Amino acid sequence: MFSLLYRDFKILKKTWTFYFGLLYFLFLLPVTQKGSFFTQTYLQYFLFIYFSYLIFAYLTAYDYKYNALTFIPALPITKKDIVAARYLLAGITFLLCLTLQHIAKAIILLKDNQAIIFNQLVNYAHIGMIFIAFSLFFSIIIPLYYKLDYQATRWVMYIAMLLTVAVTGMLTGIIPNPNQPWFLLTALGTGLFLLLFSFRFSVRILENKNL
């Protein structure tokens, strides 16, 4: 599984896709730390999902172009490892984005001569909603990719990205006072359940598929 992660990273590094997405994320990230409800909800969710979408879409396109799913099973790995590597890469992308966002927020606080206080730096509602958006997106897209292949899902991925951002943005305005630890725990539990169910479903699809 980790050999597949290393392979994916080498592909992204070689083609500059990762760096392009990272630069785009860092360029717009400071704008979302201050501003209206739109910039602090919809735009932030879009940045997270778009960055994850960009990496996943490129790797699936690469696998399709070079027919990688046909040759990867020839390696000493299981189909479960192939699926797990995709979910793990998505999780690493999420943690990277979350870390960069909080670093940017800390820099903005220091620039404004404000003390870096935990309650100012960490927003339970934001992290919870971002994780729900991330989990919802990949819980739908990864099984669809293994079921229908890249050609059939490339536009579905883009539409799912926009719908996920819209739904989570609306939920932010509906849920009363979500900036509480209980909401973050609920969001993490819901997201992990979706990802676990999706992972098992994806493994079953790939194991029943003739590559």
Nearest to 49 by CA among 118, 155, 146, 136: 136
pLDDT of residue 10: 80
pLDDT for 70 equals 72
What per-residue confidence (pLDDT) applies to 102?
A: 79
pLDDT of residue 30: 61
- Spans of all domains in the chain: 2-207
Question: pTM above the 0.85 mark?
Answer: no
Can you list the pairs that 77-82 forms with residues at least 24 positions away whose Cβ atoms lie under 8 Å?
77/1, 77/3, 77/4, 79/203, 79/206, 79/207, 80/203, 80/207, 81/1, 81/4, 82/4, 82/206
Of the candidates 168, 166, 165, 144, the one whose C-alpha atom is nearest the C-alpha of residue 156 is 144
Q: Looking up tokens 């943690």, which residue turns up?
A: 95
pLDDT per 10-residue tile (average), the chain, 211 residues:
79 71 64 54 73 83 79 77 90 85 76 74 83 90 88 84 79 76 91 95 88 62
